[in-house]
Amino acid sequence: MARLTVKTVDGWPLMEPLGEKEDDLIKRNMSPGERVLGQVIGSRGQAVVATDHKVLLVKTGATSFDYRYLVGVEVTTGWAMGEFEIVGIEENPNGLAFNKQDARHFDAMAAKIREMTDAVHGAGMAVRPRQTSPAPESAIPDQIRALAQLHAVGILTDDEFAAKKAELLARM
């Protein structure tokens, strides 16, 4: 993977370069005249791209979140990795992992996406990160499944997975 560079344009982080496959997926999921405002790239080349119309989560395919239907965005970090998560009204949370040293870029992206969501819904309507309000009990099994996936691909160590799982189970 090529070395990533980051610049800021109008407060939006713009990490480059995207992989060819990811760049193609983004172009195929944009409307004529739609423009990219910012993009952050995760630890496996996956990306979150914010346009003036929507947010795209680009992994093996592209999932689109219109700002009108976006209800939450969250950035969490652990010992070495972080996760960026997007929640739409009718979608299960979608996220991607990133290296902890890139957390400030993912935080900036989340803040700008919240601004766009606030503008669409009216000030103060976008959901804020989970750190300010605990996750509902029903979301905990989904979070444990997501952690298990991160553990299975080697992003989380056995100890990290066990500690976070125990923390989540204690909230139930």
**21 with 29: CB under 8 angstroms?**
no
pLDDT score for 134: 46
pLDDT above 90: percentage of residues in the chain: 27
The per-residue pLDDT for range 1-46, each reduced to its tens digit, is: 578 899 999 999 999 998 898 899 999 999 999 999 999 999 888 9
**172 with 114: CB under 8 angstroms?**
no
The per-residue pLDDT for range 82-134, each reduced to its tens digit, is: 899 888 776 566 788 888 889 999 999 999 988 888 887 765 444 444 443 44
Q: State how far Cα 92 lies from the chain centre.
A: 13
- For 130, other C-beta atoms within 10 Å of its C-beta total 15
Q: Cα dist. 58→44, 50, 101, 122, 162 in Å?
A: 11, 11, 21, 27, 28
The per-residue pLDDT for range 126-165, each reduced to its tens digit, is: 444 444 344 455 577 777 877 777 777 676 678 878 888 8
Does this model's pTM top 0.85? Answer: no
